Chain A
Amino acid sequence: MNKQSLAECSSEAILTCHQYLAEIIGDFPASKVLEAAIEELPESSPLRAIKFGDGVGEKELGNLFARLEGLKGQIEELHQAFRNQLVDVIGARETERATERIRLCLNESE
């Protein structure tokens, strides 16, 4: 999946990526990775305001992505940042699998 198609991913794709990562390392570290991705964004990004609490679950993630819906223009940066974090944690090969899964998920939802 190239950068352009990543940019086309919706917020549900990030959630899919989070789920994939959670299957490997668990919910909590996966949330931490997402949180780190958000911190990687430029200081000026409104997405920086998003904070995770302890024990982030489906509901909290749902709220997060609901908020992201209103910030679609900023999503591309987040996707890239999340991918960078993913590579740092599980390596390029598994990140490719994760992004492949996102692609399949998006195709399914079309």
Chain B
Amino acid sequence: MSRKILTITGVVAVVWWLALQFMERHDAPVNFLYNAVYALPPLVGAYFGFRYAAPAWGGWKSAVGKAVIFFSAGALANGGALIIWTLYNLVFKVDVPTPSAADIAWYLMYATEIASIIVLLSVTARQKGCNTLMVGLMAAAVSLLFLVFVRPLLTGTDFVTTAVNAGYLVADAVFIALILVALTLWTGHLSLFLKYALLSFGLRVVADTLFLFRLEAGTYWNGDISDLIFAVSGFLQGLAIILAMPVAIAPKAASASKV
């Protein structure tokens, strides 16, 4: 049921995007409404996360439950940010400022998504080697992304805008580094959740970068290629939550190893 609803919202987002490509105008209400359309998959994911997945894992009382709550909160923040973005464009009819309320929601998304993975890693945190590897990977990823993507954006815009935009890429890098470490440790059912979360934020890096460059070049329009990638990323974010739902692992008495 949860997958069907998520798929429907995903298909609507893709079809809507395709329709936008055939329109002559790029500033029509349907363009601005598109941001709200692709807010649906992460919102659906958040709903199923809060309503079913997190309680099934013990909610706030267990590490996995807490991780699902944080991740669902992130998806909710992502959906909320897109709705706010749409309100600026459609209701207030102004260019979205930087920073805006949407930026606050997106930063909240990163904070909660990163917290989600840190909670999972805390289960294995006593391992010294793991901590070293984690710090090393994070430092490497942050540095690389900063050098490759952020530095070119340091010219031509004011400091606050640059800092807010660069913050997204750095947050992407931190999240991806953390989740890569988690994936080396977590190989069971929940690794599916981690893999799709990784894929979601991997695409988000591409979308963020593309969006920033197109914004700088003055070629961005609501519904362009970067929005499609954001939409797919949001869909995967919702899917990750749905895949985090516990499955009844059938008793395997016969196959259980005897010592």
Contact = CB atoms under 8 A, between A and B. Distances in A.
Q: Does A associate with B in a complex?
A: yes
B191 to A, nearest CB: 7
Given A87-B61, A91-B64, A91-B65, A25 B123 contact: yes
A50 B191 CA distance: 28
Q: Interface range on chain A: under 10, 10 to 19, 20 to 34, or 35 or more?
A: 35 or more
Contacts of A32: 123-124, 126-127
Given A15-B256, A26-B186, A91 B251 contact: no
B187 to A, nearest CB: 3
A15 B254 CA distance: 14
A8 B207 CA distance: 56
B58 interface: yes
A26 B61 contact: no
A24 interface: yes
Interface residues of B, number: 32
Contact of B64 (A16, A19, A23, A90): A90
Contacts of A65: 259
Contact of A105 (B56, B59, B61, B256): B256
Contacts of B258: 12, 109
Given A89-B62, A90-B64, A100-B251, A25 B190 contact: yes
Q: Would you call the interface of chain B mostly helix, strand, loop, or mixed?
A: loop
B249 A91 contact: no
A43 interface: no
B185 interface: yes
Contact of B251 (A15, A36, A62, A105): A105
A94 B246 contact: yes
A86 B57 CA distance: 11
A19 B127 contact: no
Contacts of A109: 253, 258
Contacts of B246: 24, 90, 93-94
Contact of B249 (A30, A35, A97, A105): A97
A100 B129 CA distance: 35
Interface string A42-64: 00000000000010001001100
Contacts of A54: 127, 129
Interface in B226-259: 246, 248-249, 251-254, 256-259
Given A88-B61, A94-B58, 10 more contacts: A23-B249, A24-B189, A24-B190, A36-B126, A61-B259, A89-B64, A90-B57, A92-B62, A94-B246, A100-B251
Interface of B: 56-59, 61-65, 123-124, 126-127, 129, 185-191, 246, 248-249, 251-254, 256-259
16 contacts: A24-B249, A25-B188, A26-B187, A26-B188, A26-B190, A28-B187, A32-B124, A54-B129, A66-B259, A89-B64, A90-B246, A91-B57, A91-B61, A94-B64, A97-B248, A105-B256
Interface of A: 11-12, 15-16, 19-30, 32-33, 35-36, 54, 58, 61-62, 65-66, 69, 87-94, 97, 100-101, 104-105, 107-109
